[in-house]
Structures are given as structure tokens and as C-alpha cells.
């Protein structure tokens, strides 16, 4: 039978090279990646890529660096699945495949001129780091910036050195809280929701940007609403399983929306009635 060659496949990967790895915790590693031909990834903060290892598979991973860094980009990977565990065995100089970037990122043009209250739980800091870096690189375009970061224990803190840099800046306020800690931890202990009531903010000009584990959203959103931040100014990013990244395979579907194409960033007002969203 005659064969037709599909030369324009959407599943073709772009070659990329790991140029640096940095172990952040026993489970999480930061990879700095350069695309073949030194081209820029040209993503928006909040977008994700499909990382591809031939023979193992692909996994959706959010970009953890700002597009203002143009020569390379970073991803923060937790070793939990087949692809992510295999990625952790790789080092500087190794090649990986990339598809994307995919999805709708944070609405930065809408954020401009307004205040930001960024709430990151656990690995939620990965996509938010892209936003935070972008805001700090373009600091005067935004109003007040407040960061609330939380994780399980002090040993789970990601980007601790950057957190120290952010702390030293006069143009951003940040607080870090852990669920539980030994005596050498001097910061606050408890749930991230306990930090929100103490934040001084002007709700009508504040965007609450929340990324974290699924269980966190309900409680954080409740606190943000209690601060009178309107529903359409609460911005969330969802984690879902994905195979194609192009709105077809069905894995990431939340009722009538595809997380990969319509999201992963959503306004709370657009998804609050969806039981499958939370």
C-alpha cells in the first residue's frame, strides 16, 4: 500500500541541552536548558512545556524562569513519575526533547499597574517563580508585590537562596511559613492560610495569584475572598495529567475546558462552579 509521510507532525520535538543542574531537595532538581540553535523558548510566565525522553515518554512541566532570561530557561522537577525520575538521572551536557510552550500563562498585561499577592504552596513556587522573576525584572510596571510561600518542613524549601535575595529587596514583601519544624527554624509555623489575614492590601487593585497542591486552593481562596479580593482577581494555575498539550487527548479536561489550552491559568470566577476543578 502507498504510504504518505507526515512531515509536519505536531509531535516532533525540538532538541535541547541541559547546561546546569542544581539539586534543591532530595526530590526536586532545577535544570537549566538551552534550545538547539540557541533560540529563545519565548514563553509567558505560567506556560508549560512537554519534556521528552525517547524510550521513556513525555511529561508536562511548567517553566520556572522568567522570559526576561532569554538565552536559556529553567524547569524545577520533582521526581514522582517515570519521566521525571529519568530526568533526575541526567546531568549537564545531556540532551532532552522539548515541545511547546503550551497553554495560557498569567495575565501579566492585566497585572500591570496593580498590586500582587502571590501565594505559593510547595512545588507551586515553580510556575510562580517565572512570574516573580518577571515582576522583579520589570518592577516599576507593577504596584505592590507581596509573596507568601509555604511548604511542609524547612528541608522542603525550594529556592532558599533566591528567597533570601527577595527578602533583602525593599520593593517586595515576602513571608515563608512551614507546616512543621524543628527548633532551629526561626520563622512562622502553620498553614499558609494563617498569613493572609495579616497582609495589608487594597482589594480592588490587588490580584491574588495562587499555585499549590489541589487541597490548598479551597482554603486560600476563602481567605482571599475574606480580604474582599473580587473573584475575577483571584488567579489560579491547575496541575493536570496531560499527553498531548494541544486540547485533544482528554486527560486534562475539567468539564468543558481543557487545562492545557484554556489554562493552566484560570480566573477563579471562571472555574468556581466546576466541581471537577478542585
By the rule CB under 8 A, 38 interacts with another protein: no
Compute the distance between CA of residue 214 and CA of residue 63 in angstroms, rounded to an integer.
19
Please report, to the nearest 10 degrees, the dihedral formed by the alpha carbons of residues 187, 192, 195, 201 taken in order.
130
Residue 11: CB atoms within 10 Å: 12
Least spacing, CB of residue 116 vs another protein, in Å:
26
User: What is the separation of C-alpha 249 from the centre of its chain, rounded to a whole number of angstroms?
Assistant: 22
By the rule CB under 8 A, 42 interacts with another protein: no
Q: Which is nearer to another protein, 59 or 119 (CB)?
A: 59
By the rule CB under 8 A, 89 interacts with another protein: no
Give the per-residue contact string, 115-154, with another protein (x = CB under 8 A; - = no): ----------------------------------------
Give the residue, chosen from 54, 141, 164, 165, that forms a contact with another protein under the rule CB under 8 A: 54
Least spacing, CB of residue 114 vs another protein, in Å:
31
Yes or no: say if 265 and 105 are a contact pair by the CB < 8 Å rule. yes
Of 27-35, 73-81, 131-139, 173-181: span binding another protein (CB under 8 A): 73-81
Q: Which is nearer to another protein, 153 or 253 (CB)?
A: 253
By the rule CB under 8 A, 156 interacts with another protein: no
Give the residue, chosen from 57, 143, 154, 203, that forms a contact with another protein under the rule CB under 8 A: 57
Q: Which is nearer to another protein, 11 or 164 (CB)?
A: 11
Compute the distance between CA of residue 246 and CA of residue 249 in angstroms, rounded to an integer.
8
Residue 248: CB atoms within 10 Å: 12
Per-residue b/e over 69-105, b at no fewer than 16 CB within 10 Å? beebbbbbbbbeeebbebbbebeeeeebbbbbbbbbb
Residue 44: CB atoms within 10 Å: 18
Binding-site ranges for another protein (CB under 8 A) = 1-13, 15, 54-59, 78, 80-81, 84, 95-97, 213-214, 239-241, 243-244, 246-251, 253-256, 275-276
Amino acid at each position: 500500500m502507498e504510504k504518505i509521510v507526515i512531515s509536519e507532525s505536531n509531535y516532533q520535538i525540538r532538541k535541547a541541552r541541559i547546561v546546569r543542574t542544581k539539586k534543591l531537595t532530595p526530590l526536586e532538581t532545577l535544570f537549566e536548558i538551552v534550545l538547539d540553535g540557541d533560540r529563545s523558548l519565548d514563553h509567558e510566565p505560567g506556560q508549560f512545556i512537554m519534556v521528552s525522553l525517547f524510550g521513556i515518554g513525555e511529561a508536562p512541566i511548567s517553566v520556572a524562569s522568567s522570559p526576561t532570561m532569554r538565552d536559556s530557561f529553567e524547569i524545577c522537577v520533582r521526581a514522582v513519575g517515570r519521566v521525571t525520575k529519568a530526568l533526575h538521572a541526567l546531568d549537564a551536557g545531556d540532551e532532552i526533547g522539548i515541545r511547546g510552550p503550551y497553554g495560557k500563562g498569567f495575565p501579566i498585561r492585566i497585572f500591570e499597574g496593580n498590586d500582587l499577592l502571590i501565594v505559593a504552596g510547595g512545588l507551586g513556587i515553580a510556575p510562580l517563580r517565572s512570574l516573580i522573576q518577571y515582576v522583579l525584572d520589570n518592577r516599576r510596571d507593577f504596584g505592590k508585590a507581596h509573596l507568601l510561600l509555604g511548604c511542609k518542613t524547612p528541608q522542603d524549601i525550594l529556592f532558599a537562596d533566591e528567597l533570601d535575595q527577595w527578602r533583602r529587596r525593599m520593593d517586595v514583601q515576602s513571608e515563608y511559613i512551614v507546616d512543621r519544624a524543628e527548633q532551629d527554624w526561626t520563622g512562622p509555623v502553620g498553614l499558609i492560610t494563617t498569613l493572609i489575614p495579616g497582609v495589608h492590601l487594597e482589594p480592588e487593585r490587588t490580584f491574588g495569584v495562587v499555585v499549590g497542591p489541589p487541597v490548598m486552593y479551597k482554603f486560600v481562596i476563602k481567605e482571599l475572598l475574606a480580604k474582599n479580593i473580587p473573584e475575577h482577581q483571584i488567579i489560579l494555575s491547575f496541575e493536570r495529567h496531560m499527553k498531548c498539550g494541544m486540547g485533544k487527548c482528554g486527560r486534562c479536561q475539567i468539564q468543558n475546558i481543557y487545562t492545557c489550552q484554556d489554562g493552566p491559568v484560570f480566573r477563579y470566577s471562571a472555574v468556581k462552579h466546576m466541581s471537577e476543578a478542585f
